[in-house]
Structure 1
Amino acid sequence: MTHILGLTGSIGMGKSTVATMFRDLGVPVFDADAAVHALQGPNGALLPAIEAAFPGTTGPAGLDRAALRDRIFDDPDARRRLEAIVHPAVAAERQRFLDTHAAAPLVVLDIPLLFETGGDARCDSVAVVSAAPDIQRARVLARPGMTESAFAAILATQMPDGEKRARAHHIIRTDTTIGATQVQVAALVACMVPGEGG
């Protein structure tokens, strides 16, 4: 029986780094963001539906993210229309991943808005990647083009870190060394995968 581990964490917490650590230990990882990018990239399966709903937001290079962001930023109805296009397609990709790895003892669903979208209900357990607020802030503001206001806007769409940690079965700290984080990930895999060493 495959154990489905949901992996989530707010922006700048180090979730992508932790997902890579799971992959390096041989655990299959479904990357929801990567699935969305593929569906919306050049010749992506969702481009016709997005173009029909939001004319002028797609082209040969795929989705024009800035144009679409401007279109839906202050419009909850537009955001819901977009989600109605994207979410079912991502769900289908996730199911394909689960079917492909049905024999694996452990799989990871890397989903940024796992709790916010109710995705935790499809997981056997959830690991939240977390770091101290000052470290999170420094990481995010070091990203190209990131501003204080953009960071604040992103945080406003995400469940507070404290609430995520309270709902998690496992917490992986990244406000430490890479090696210490790897030890946490390896220990988690070892307790979920029969026969794995410590």
Structure 2
Amino acid sequence: MTSPGPITIGLTGSIGMGKSTVAAMFLEAGVPVFDADAAVHALQGVGGRLVPAIEAAFPGSTRDGAVDRTLLGPMVLSDPAAVKRLEAIVHPAVGEERAAFLATHASADMVVFDVPLLFETGGESRVDSVVVVSAPADLQRARVLARPGMSIEKFEAILAMQLPNAEKVARADFVVPTGGSHEETRRAVHAIIACLAARQTPSS
């Protein structure tokens, strides 16, 4: 059963799976997308309202009026207690941004919430359908290690914080494969939109 208002789609996938590409394809197709990572960047950027709280909790993690991820990362990456402290600051604020986005797009047929750690934070309970983006492990690894500043150690530490891809796929309502061409991926996105739109149409 869908909730009142737009159908809410949780879009997720492990690092390097192509989630940003898929989010752009939903947007291209006219579906509003809430980017949780972008919201976090704004909240932690210059003048962001979370900067003072994060500096207080993690002294030395900000520079020039913004959270510096290269400074904050090592403070939390392998420390579950530190991760929880950071989440307690960040998640409520992102929730407020999410609610504002939903209010703005209340008349849309459907909206996408692009959330990297959807399952890890229990976010699947707050959406109508979950879409998982998936690619072969060797392609994922190649994509991530090609990123500036990425190392095998950092990649493995990030993976350790995320549910295994196989588990995400098993728990998904829809899976978008990104190991093939962009056109194949786009067709999968459009098929999901059509399927959800059909569910929303009242039967005669």
Please give the TM-score of this superposition, normalised by the length of structure 1.
0.94
Tell me, yes or no, if structure 1 residue 123 matches structure 2 residue 123.
no
Question: Equivalent residue of 2:10, what SS?
Answer: strand
Do structure 1's residue 188 and structure 2's residue 198 form an aligned pair?
no
| Offset of residue 19 of structure 1 | 0.1
Q: Does 1:7 align with 2:7?
A: no
**8 A contact 2:109–2:197 mirrored in 1:** yes
Conservation of the 8 A alpha-carbon contact between 1:13 and 1:130: yes
Residues 52-92 of structure 1: per-residue CA shift (max 9 Å, x gap): 22222223251111221222234332222111110100011
The one-letter amino acid of 1:8's match is: T
Backbone CA RMSD of aligned residues: 1.6
Match of 2:75?
A: 71
Q: 1:123-156: CA deviations, max 9, x gaps?
A: 1010000011111111111111212111111110
Structure 2 gaps of 5+ residues are none
Alpha carbons 1:43, 1:60 under 8 Å: kept: no
Structure 2 residue matching 1:140: 3-state secondary structure:
helix
TM superposition shift of 1:168 = 0.3
* Equivalent residue, structure 2, for 1:45: 49
Distance 1:75 1:172 in 2: 32
* Equivalence map 1:93-104=2 (5 Å): 93-104=97-108
CA–CA distance in structure 1, aligned partners of residues 166 and 10 of structure 2 = 17
Residue 39 of structure 2 aligns with which residue? Answer: 35
Q: How does 1:36-185 map to 2 (within 5 A)?
A: 36-185=40-189
Corresponding residue SS for 1:193: helix
Q: Secondary structure at the match of 1:109?
A: strand
Size of the alignment, in residue pairs? 196
Opposite residue 186 of structure 2, the aligned amino acid is Q
Runs of 4+ in 1 over 3 A off after TM superposition: none
Q: Identity over aligned residues, as a percent? A: 60
TM-score with structure 2 setting the length: 0.91
Amino acid in the other structure paired with 1:142: A
Distance in 2 separating the partners of 1:135 and 1:179? 18
Distance 1:73 1:184 in 2: 34
Q: Is the 8 A contact 1:131 1:174 kept in 2?
A: yes
The question of whether the paired residues in 1 share the 8 Å contact of 2:40 and 2:94 is answered with yes
Quote the Cα distance in structure 1 between the aligned partners of 2:177 and 2:16: 12
Distance 2:77 2:187 in 1: 40
Measured in 1, the distance between the counterparts of 2:59 and 2:141 equals 35
SS in 2 for 1:114: coil
